[in-house]
Amino acid sequence: MDLAEKRIVLTGGAGFLGTAVCRVLRARGVPGDQVIVPRRESCDLTDESAVACLYDTARPDVVIHLAAEVGGIGANRAAPGRFFYANMAMGLHLVEHARRAGIEKFVHTGTVCAYPRDCAVPFHEDDLWNGYPEVTNAPYGIAKKALFVMLDAYRRQYGLRSAVVVPVNLYGPGDNFDPTTSHVIPSLIRKCEEARLTGMPEMVCWGSGSATREFLHVDDAAEAIVRAAERIEDPIPINLGGGEEIAIRDLVAKVVDGCGYRGRIVWDPSKPDGQPRRGLDISRARSLLEWHPIRDFDRGLAETIHWWRERGV
């Protein structure tokens, strides 16, 4: 599919990942006026009438669905009902009205939180249904994963062409640094910088530090999502990973070193670690998208720290 000739609705297009996807679309020759970014203030995607109005006015050929209500472990524990409802409602309305409008393709961005808690590492897409997700983020993960089933059903019954990508935790300049909703990397950078600037003798981190995570630069993720829009027609889940599994304890050490913090790190085992391990098999992305991550993690982390220092603290 030549996206330069298509009208594209990009939900979440003003956010962290969305702005990166916009950059890739521009590089593909998609004119700016052909990318429609609904804003929450005027188009609440959890409201079916608002979604119907969006399709009527935007008349898209393609929908790339990035919008989500999401956060780290603390945010997921605080609002599990809202996270399930908002993510389920947005996807439900967007897919159903995409069918009614006869759009050419729907691209859904899932989440690594959809995988079973004790999934064998590296996670393979065939393992998505082999157990219940980590309880701290299960409502969010299941809501996003339910749309995999919906898109498969709509492809078989209605012929709706679609693609599904499953990214790990994203990071990079422009990330969400809100202390109540941010993910692990921006949360650690903000906490470490604040500790450094205020001269705090110690910094407290959640859990034991033994859990592992994998991180993907936002620009690598954006490239993969656009390739899925161009190339994929069936909603077969496709993992997007960064290629390096890292213990949270080691990640903290990298952030501390990058920020130049000299205080003591204290671990709080009363707080949850979340899923014990995360690491993705990306062989399907290599095969179907001819994609692999190209950004170096240490360099990307340094750029993210620099971006926050320039614009944040």
The confidence score (pLDDT) of residue 312 equals 63
Q: Which residues of the chain have pLDDT under 50?
A: none
Other CB atoms within a 10 A radius of the CB of residue 260 amount to 10
Question: Cα dist. 241→197, 237, 244 in Å?
Answer: 33, 13, 8
Residues 6+ apart with CB under 8 A from 198: none
Type of residue found at 284: R
Amino acid at 105: K
Q: Which of 114, 166, 118, 130 is closest to 277 using CA atoms?
A: 118
CB 147 within 8 A of CB 108: yes
Specify the 3-state DSSP secondary structure of 133: strand
Nearest to 11 by CA among 103, 90, 113, 79: 90
pTM of the model: 0.95
Domains parsed from the chain with CATH numbers: 3-173+214-245+278-295 (3.40.50.720)
The one catalytic residue in 55, 115, 140, 154 is: 140
List of residues 6+ apart from 154 with CB closer than 8 A: 95, 99, 160, 162
**Residue 140 annotated among the catalytic residues of the structure:** yes
pLDDT computed for residue 114 by the predictor: 96
Q: Are 313 and 155 in contact (CB under 8 A)?
A: no
